[in-house]
A and B are shown apart, each in its own frame.
Chain A
Amino acid sequence: MSLVFSFLKKYRTASLLALLMMVIELTVELAQPYLISKIIDDGIANSDLNVVWMWGGLLLVGTLFAFGAGIASSFFASYASQGFASDLRETLYDKVQSFSYSVFSKFATSSLITRMTGDITMLQDTIFMSLRFMTRVPLVVIGSVVMAMVVNIKLGVLLALTVPLLLVFVLWIMRRAGAMFKNVQRRLDKVNGVIQENLTGIRLIRVFVRMKHENGRFAASSGKLMKNTVAALRLTETTMPFIMLVMNASIIAVLWFGRADIASGSATVGEVVAVANYALRTIGALSAFSWIAVTFSRAGASAQRVKEVLDTENGEFAQTNVYGHQSGVSAAAFAESQDSGAEPVEGTVRFENVSFKYPTSDIKVLEEISFEIGAGKRVAIMGATGSGKSSLVQLIPHLYDWDKGEITIDGRSIDQWDTEHLRRSIGYVPQEVLLFTGSIRENIAWGREDATFEEIEEAAKIAQIHETVEKLPNGYDTQLGQRGVNLSGGQKQRLSIARALVRRPAILILDDSTSALDLATESRLLGALEDISCTTFLITQKISSTQAADLILLLDEGRLIAGGTHQELMRTSELYRHIYESQFEQGEALHA
């Protein structure tokens, strides 16, 4: 709630105006039964046409007035809620962008997306509704009761007595129904889970002939869903009839006492009618109450989820250097800078007993890794899925903090480098291809905004994608859909390599980025890479691409089990030999 108010502060005036307009509108409506009673008692009872004209005219003017106020409240409420949502979204997005990668990865990406879209829209809708409508509900209840008492105190009190009773009842139902609906939701998830499983595994189910088994499983969970749904709805369906029952009773009471009072002269016909009318308005408002409470509790949950992100520590390291924040400065420009942590990167990388685990898990991903590679050399990293290859290279651009040991670049610990400067000197090509919506040229230039077209072309040539791009009807201006859907896997991989190369990196990291390339293209690419001088980390499955490496690291379950050149590993590592044999025909390739 405090979150909502702090962001709404900027739109205080609009919010207050929206509320004010709503109150005006409400006042007019609440005056209606009162005016009716005036028409009946002063006008019709006395056969005074002027009185009827006067009050009737007033009703009409009030209606027009209320309409104007209603339109205005819609305008102000919309202004405030849209502004609110926009500000909150922007703040949230900036916050997420300021997270260090390890903090970022504590949240599931999908959950962050939901928070930024669904949750904020939920809050915005709730604020919009609150300003125009929801706050009106309690006011209608209170206003009706008060007005009823103004009209006739004794009859009004009758009405006032029933309201707290109903309120307690509605709240009680809601609390119970909330728990029951949660149960329903769980059952529904279960049912949907079974469907999902069955659709994914349909071939397997078919070949194992398990259709009856699955049908039974599904019928059981669907049956439970049905039972729970019926139970929950049955409960909520008692709300309205109960409210009506109580209010009906109070109306009968009003009539009963009203007639007696009319007889004794302490009440008029108009007053009785007015009180009955107020009672009806109260029913209407109360019936909306449970809906509003549900909406508020959901909005509260949304606010909580948003707040959780906003309250998270950034966790970014080494943000001290001012040079780091000048965007658009190329790595070359840093050559002139003498500031500590921002000298040009040569590319000598050294790992010393490095151990690492992800912040969200207790399992050690890397254990006691040590190696050193000189500037401009090539390291090939091999190992099974989950052996820690990707984790190892992610430490180099300082996406994560490691736990033990030391990683140095050019003899200086990564901690001591300005993070942004360091990252500007690294070309990173992740395993999963991530291109952005935009043209091919933009996607490559994404690596360095001030890259000239010649530089872009050059990077594309090295990445072996230039010819393919030239052949496209729009060449470098070809638009890529979301995440580049209209290119093949291999083309996308090469494009993201070009994006890394355009930075003229001192260190290049290729995380299994050539897996979709055919052998010929891959070897051309690796050959072209030798001509540019940068330290290259190459994660690969293929022996063919490790052979030319200056150093091969063989990882198994986070440990470095072998390291050396191809010849050395062939001698010393049994696993490496196995891999080699599985990829090359024993006889032929060995003799070749």
Chain B
Amino acid sequence: MPNGWTEAFRQPRPPVIADPSKASGEYKKKKRAKNVSGTLGRIWKYLAQRKLKLGLVLFMVLISSALSLLGPYMIGVAVDDYLSGGGAFWGLGWVWFLVVLGVVYLLGPITMFLQSIWMIEIAQETVYRMRVDLFSHLHKLPIPFFGKRQQGELMSRVTNDIENVSATLNSSAIQIFSSVLILFGTLGVMLSLSPLLTLLTFIVVPLMAVGMRWITRRTGPLFKERQSNLGDLNGYIEETLSGQRIIKAFSQEDRVKKEFGVRNERIRLSGFWAQTISGMIPKLMNSLNNLSFALVAGIGGILAINGQVTIGVIIVFVEYARQFTRPLNDLANQWNTLLSAIAGAERVFEIMDEEVENKDEGKAAKLDKIEGSVKFDSVSFGYDEGRNTLSDISFEAKPGETIALVGPTGAGKTTLIQLLSRFYDASGGKITIDGREIGSIQRENLRSHMAFVLQETFLFEGTIRENIRYGRLDATDEEIEEAAKLANAHSFIARLQDGYDKMLNNGGSGISQGQKQLLAIARAMLADPAILVLDEATSSIDTVTEIKIQQGLQRLMKGRTSFVIAHRLNTIRQADQILVLKDGGLLEHGSHDELLKQGGFYSGLYHGQGIEGEAGD
């Protein structure tokens, strides 16, 4: 009969993500939202873009909630006025009464359907806009932001947290609203019919509260214990499976099996108690429901005999009694989901609140071409106030020169490059390109004249051709091939089954590290920059592979102002200038031979073979 009935029976929708690791019943650590009203306000701003539709949804919820109250009431009327007595309700005949009931019954599902699909449309649009906003915001954030954050944690904000918001907006929001409406509606109708029976029905509420408290007080620590045992077991599984090769090579299978058994037993015990006691919750709810049913039926029967209530009223109460605990239950459930979604949204907004890279100044220039002379004039920079990462760096590079940056980890080599590409702005001194201060060049324009080959060769999911084309989006196939030839990449690509159309998956497995680096070189070649930065481009490559890509690199560097950061000194030897950095200062400066003659830090490094020792332990 009543719509609210079925509403009440609704089960939580199965999660869309069919990932067993998420279904593992692991209880996520709930992070509490800090600023609920602020976050809600911002979600509202997104939702408010569809005000009209949202208004319609609310209207539908109102109607469907009212209809769900009307249903059981009319059944009671039917029993009293038409089935038992000969009376008529509002003077309607039996057939007309059924027609009215039919309309109520028809409108119920329809309003329910409309409210949910409209809400889904609003919710998904909202989530779409949040996603896109967040994503484009990420691209406006300064690079150091990404160094400070763990990638996995960022990833989880952009994916899980937003998914969480999405799922909650889809259903919980409406459900909470209609639960509240139905709860109060039910209460009102019940009170107007029979205050005594209402009291009886609500007798179970304190019982419910007491019972829940009793259970949750016990399950809390139990779940914690189970969780820590589960974490321990999963950790052990992960450790021993990742280390399987060692276990095999050392013949330790029996031992790990035994240790696994101990952990497995521990989790069985704690899992058993946690599950048994938490399993009582639905049973308790059910039983209390049954209890109020019995009370209403029994005592209502007695009242009916005394003529204090009609049979219809008992029937209405029996329905309501079963119905009202559901919204309560729903509210409790949805409330938690809602809070965790708000916390999720808050984490998303936190990122959107991160400060973006400084805007270009209004009159910043856009250069079509640069020659590539670079000058640092007593440049200083500090990430934190009062502590300089770089201090008083001065040097000048003519177009086409190769500048090697040498120094131990943390000496400031990468920072220097980041200043040049304006990921940061220098706090003191002046950096000029072709005599023009880089602050007066549009950031993107400046970067478009530079190309980078980094230690981590990054390849996108896509074909080899697409990956090279990333260097210049409007490049023709011929140009791409030409770049690949110059980079020495063409021959290996040609030998691949699909050639330039070979799909690379994320991270580019399937081709070797040296080949990946060759693709990165081809990409930089295609970009045809005036300034080139090789940031440890060969340091994660073994020496034999390095020999193989050396030629491609040489060609790439030819005719471009190149900044090379490298650990291996042989790569550095041919540079026109070598800048030796230590603790943020320019310690030595000159060509290889000059520096050797000086017999200073560089020469010490050189004879000690490599700076790698510094990075050791």
Question: Do A191 and B131 have beta carbons less than 8 Å apart?
Answer: yes
CA distance A519 to B113 in the complex (A): 73
Contacts of A284 in B (CB 8 A): 5-6, 8-9
In-complex Cβ contact of B275 among A60, A81, A219 (8 A): A81
User: Which 8 A/B pairs are nearest by Cβ-Cβ distance?
Assistant: A56-B298, A70-B283, A74-B279, A518-B613, A241-B109, A284-B9, A118-B20, A59-B294
Question: Do A208 and B471 have beta carbons less than 8 Å apart?
Answer: yes
Question: Do B10 and A240 have beta carbons less than 8 Å apart?
Answer: yes
Contacts of B348 in A (CB 8 A): none
Residues from 266 to 320 in A contacting B, C-beta threshold 8 Å:
269, 272-273, 276-277, 279-280, 283-285, 287-288, 291, 294-295, 298, 301-302, 305
Question: Do A93 and B257 have beta carbons less than 8 Å apart?
Answer: yes
B457 (CB) vs chain A CBs: closest residue: A204
B contacts with A: majority SS: helix
Shortest CB distance A79–B (Å): 6
Residues from 78 to 111 in A contacting B, C-beta threshold 8 Å:
78-79, 81-83, 85-86, 89-90, 93-94, 96-98, 100-101, 104, 109
Of the listed stretches A42-50, A142-150, A332-340, A403-411, chain B binds A42-50
**Is A154 close to B, CB under 8 A?**
no
**Is A526 close to B, CB under 8 A?**
no
**Is B487 close to A, CB under 8 A?**
no
Shortest CB distance A547–B (Å): 13
CA distance A83 to B267 in the complex (A): 10
Of the listed stretches B32-40, B248-256, B366-374, B433-441, chain A binds B248-256
User: Chain B interface: which size bin?
Assistant: 35 or more
CB-CB under 8 A for A196 and B155, given A63-B294, A118-B23: yes
Question: Do A242 and B109 have beta carbons less than 8 Å apart?
Answer: yes
From B11, B94, B261, residue with most partner A Cβ within 10 Å:
B11
Question: Do A291 and B275 have beta carbons less than 8 Å apart?
Answer: no
Question: Do A57 and B461 have beta carbons less than 8 Å apart?
Answer: no
CA distance A285 to B22 in the complex (A): 26
B226 (CB) vs chain A CBs: closest residue: A82
B26 (CB) vs chain A CBs: closest residue: A121
Contact with B along A236-280 (1 / 0, CB 8 A): 111011111101110110011011001000000100110011011
In-complex Cβ contact of A57 among B23, B298, B460 (8 A): B298
**Is A449 close to B, CB under 8 A?**
yes
Question: Do B124 and A384 have beta carbons less than 8 Å apart?
Answer: no
A500 (CB) vs chain B CBs: closest residue: B250
User: Chain A interface: which size bin?
Assistant: 35 or more
Residues from 438 to 455 in B contacting A, C-beta threshold 8 Å:
444, 447-448, 450-452, 454
Contacts of B235 in A (CB 8 A): 437, 482
CA distance A79 to B274 in the complex (A): 11
CA distance A127 to B228 in the complex (A): 23
**Is A357 close to B, CB under 8 A?**
no
CA distance A482 to B155 in the complex (A): 23
Of the listed stretches A2-10, A210-218, A348-356, A564-572, chain B binds A210-218
Of the listed stretches B182-190, B424-432, B545-553, chain A binds B545-553
21 contacts between A and B (CB under 8 A): A59-B293, A62-B290, A86-B264, A121-B24, A185-B16, A192-B159, A193-B461, A198-B138, A208-B471, A210-B470, A219-B132, A230-B121, A236-B13, A272-B83, A273-B311, A280-B319, A291-B11, A436-B243, A490-B617, A518-B617, A519-B610
In-complex Cβ contact of A56 among B248, B253, B294, B470 (8 A): B294
Give me 12 other A-B pairs in contact (C-beta within 8 A), A233-B170, A251-B105 excluded.
Answer: A63-B293, A78-B272, A101-B244, A118-B19, A122-B20, A191-B131, A269-B79, A283-B9, A287-B10, A385-B514, A434-B246, A446-B250
CA distance A54 to B586 in the complex (A): 98
CA distance A132 to B452 in the complex (A): 61
CB-CB under 8 A for A241 and B110, given A125-B23, A276-B75: yes
Question: Do B98 and A256 have beta carbons less than 8 Å apart?
Answer: yes
Of the listed stretches A369-377, A453-461, A530-538, A577-585, chain B binds A577-585
Question: Do A66 and B297 have beta carbons less than 8 Å apart?
Answer: no
B10 (CB) vs chain A CBs: closest residue: A287
CB-CB under 8 A for A101 and B245, given A252-B105, A259-B82, A446-B250: yes
Contacts of B251 in A (CB 8 A): 324, 327, 420, 423-424
From B94, B243, B610, residue with most partner A Cβ within 10 Å:
B243
Shortest CB distance B542–A (Å): 5
In-complex Cβ contact of B23 among A121, A195, A324 (8 A): A121
CA distance A387 to B513 in the complex (A): 12
Contacts of B250 in A (CB 8 A): 423, 428, 446-447, 503
Question: Do A63 and B290 have beta carbons less than 8 Å apart?
Answer: yes
CB-CB under 8 A for A434 and B242, given A86-B268, A200-B151, A385-B545: yes
CA distance A192 to B512 in the complex (A): 25
In-complex Cβ contact of A298 among B23, B102, B155, B170 (8 A): B23
CA distance A410 to B129 in the complex (A): 69
Question: Do A226 and B613 have beta carbons less than 8 Å apart?
Answer: no
CA distance A192 to B267 in the complex (A): 33
CA distance A262 to B86 in the complex (A): 12
A424 (CB) vs chain B CBs: closest residue: B251
Shortest CB distance B112–A (Å): 5
CA distance A518 to B609 in the complex (A): 10
Question: Do B6 and A243 have beta carbons less than 8 Å apart?
Answer: yes
Question: Do B155 and A195 have beta carbons less than 8 Å apart?
Answer: yes
**Is A203 close to B, CB under 8 A?**
yes
Question: Do A280 and B5 have beta carbons less than 8 Å apart?
Answer: yes
Question: Do A128 and B6 have beta carbons less than 8 Å apart?
Answer: no
Contacts of B473 in A (CB 8 A): 210, 213
Question: Do B83 and A516 have beta carbons less than 8 Å apart?
Answer: no
Contacts of B252 in A (CB 8 A): 327, 446
Question: Do B237 and A208 have beta carbons less than 8 Å apart?
Answer: no
Contacts of A35 in B (CB 8 A): 297
Question: Do B298 and A199 have beta carbons less than 8 Å apart?
Answer: no
CA distance A519 to B94 in the complex (A): 100
Contacts of A434 in B (CB 8 A): 242-243, 245-246
CA distance A273 to B316 in the complex (A): 10
Question: Do B78 and A255 have beta carbons less than 8 Å apart?
Answer: yes
**Is A119 close to B, CB under 8 A?**
yes
Question: Do A237 and B545 have beta carbons less than 8 Å apart?
Answer: no
Residues from 172 to 201 in A contacting B, C-beta threshold 8 Å:
181, 184-185, 188, 191-193, 195-201
**Is B315 close to A, CB under 8 A?**
yes
Shortest CB distance A201–B (Å): 4
**Is A358 close to B, CB under 8 A?**
no
Shortest CB distance B110–A (Å): 7
